Amino acid sequence: MKGIVLAGGLGSRLYPLTHATNKHLLPIYDQPMIYYPIATLVNAGIDHIMVVTGGPHAGHFLRVLRDGKHLGVRHLEYAYQENEGGIAEALGLCEDFADGDNICVILGDNTTDADIRPAVESFTEGALLFLAKVPDPHRFGCPRFDPNDPTRILRIEEKPREPASNYAVTGLYIYDARVFDYIARLEPSDRGELEITDVNNFYLADGLLRWVELEGFWTDAGTFESLHRANRYWAERRGWRAQPVEDTSSVVHKA
């Protein structure tokens, strides 16, 4: 199986930070953000990886990732997404790289400590989505479950105003080669993008979609709140502890 990290976009929700560099190169505690999704793939045994980037800071990745060897990547390729055409458009750039193999796709702003190796090793065909319970499912693709069978997804809704569940489709997916046929059938959404949610619904309609709940920590880092959450978690995981701040407001200084 090959791995794909989607790290394009302008990161406008994180302006002014992303005026300086690509969002996925911002720090999560002591590492660039993109190290985390790459580690998720490498820890699952995937060491042939393509990074899709875009925007004015795309060249910054070369200095950070180089050939990937220092991260455990055996073969690293890059692709450039010229426009803001959506996740599915970015994934479509990887068809030649995939070369008919199954692929594990992760968004570049996703951080998780979940072990996905069992799912990778047991995958055979179709699509496998990783879901997580979140406090803000309206920011994500959100599954609508069958009220008579809570394990069965009826449809995935993209950024719904009134989410049908408290689950989010995380930016972590496993697909077979059909994914590129589905992408070729897509029409731009009202946002002018090719939506990965539409790809997932194609798999669902054809009876080829499964899902599992991620075990462990997961968050994206695409907003200031989620960026802070990711930094806090990984800092504490690596031993950092907040120190109490001394209150000096009542200290009287003599002249």
> Mean pLDDT by 10-residue block, N- to C-terminus, for the chain (255 residues)?
94 91 96 98 98 93 96 97 91 97 97 97 97 92 94 94 94 97 94 93 97 95 94 93 68 58
β-strands 2-7, 48-54: how paired? parallel
Say how far apart CA 214 and CA 128 lie, in whole Å. 12
pLDDT of res. 70: 97
pLDDT score for 76: 98
Angle at 175 between CA 230 and CA 211, to 5 degrees: 65
Radius of gyration of the chain (CA): 19
Q: Which residue has the tokens 């590492």?
A: 31
**First CA to last CA distance, the chain:** 71
Distance (Å, rounded) from C-alpha 131 to C-alpha 140? 11
Whether the pTM exceeds 0.85: the reply is: yes
Predicted pLDDT of residue 250: 58
- Whole-angstrom Cα distance, residue 26 to residue 19? 11
